Amino acid sequence: MQIHANNPLELTSSGSVLWRLPLEPWLLLPGKIKYDGHELTRKAEFHITVLGRALTPRYLQSADLRERWFQSWATLDHRITVTDELWLLQKSEQDSADHSLVTDCVARALQDARHLLGLWVKEPLPPAIAHITLYTKDNSHGIAIANEQALHDRRIASGSWSAFGLNYPISE
C-alpha cells in the first residue's frame, strides 16, 4: 500500500517531531483485535516519528535551524510504502502488559530529513526504524523503537498482516 502524506512536521509538547498521516487508510481496520492473548485497540491517530524527544534538544537547539529544517520538509518525497510485515512489541520484560502492533514501512522523507539535519549540525543522526503504530494496549502513545537494538529487544512476534488476522490495506 502506498500513502502520500504531504503533511508538515509537528513539534509536540513532549519534544518529539511527528509526521502525521491521513486517517482514511487505517479506518478500515477493526477497532479491536486479539492476538496471542493480547487485546489491542486501534489508535485514533497515526504518525511516523521523525525525531524522538531524546534527540530533539540536541539536534534542534536553534529556532532558526528548526524553521529551516521544517521548511525543507516540503521539498522531500512524502510517499510511504506500507509493507506486509507487522511487529508485536512489548515495552519491557518488567512491563509485560504494555504492547503495540506496528507495521513496517518505507518512508524516504524520514531518512532524507534526518540525513539533512545531520549534515547541517555536522553530526549524523542514527538511522531511524520507519514504522507506524496501528494498535496499542495500555499505552496510547505506542512503544518507541528508536533503533535496531530497541526493535530487537521489544519485538516479541512478527509476521504478515494475515498472520495477525488482518487484511493488508488496499492502495488508495
Q: What is the pLDDT of residue 42?
A: 94
Say what the pLDDT of residue 1 is: 82
Three-class DSSP category at 11: strand
pLDDT in tens, 71-101: 999 999 999 999 999 999 998 776 667 899 9
pLDDT per residue as tens digits for the range 124-150: 998 899 999 999 986 667 888 888 999
Here the cell at position 99 is: 504492547
Q: Exposure pattern of 74-95 as b/e (b: 16+ CB <10 Å)?
A: eebebebebeeebbbbbbeeee
Q: Where are the domains of the chain?
A: 2-164
State yes or no: pLDDT of 172 exceeds 60: no
Q: Can you give the three-state secondary structure of 32-97, one letter per residue? A: EEEECCEEEEECCCCEEEEECCCCHHHHCCCHHHHHHHHHHHHHCCCEEEEEEEEEEEECCCCCCC
What does the pLDDT read at residue 97? Answer: 72
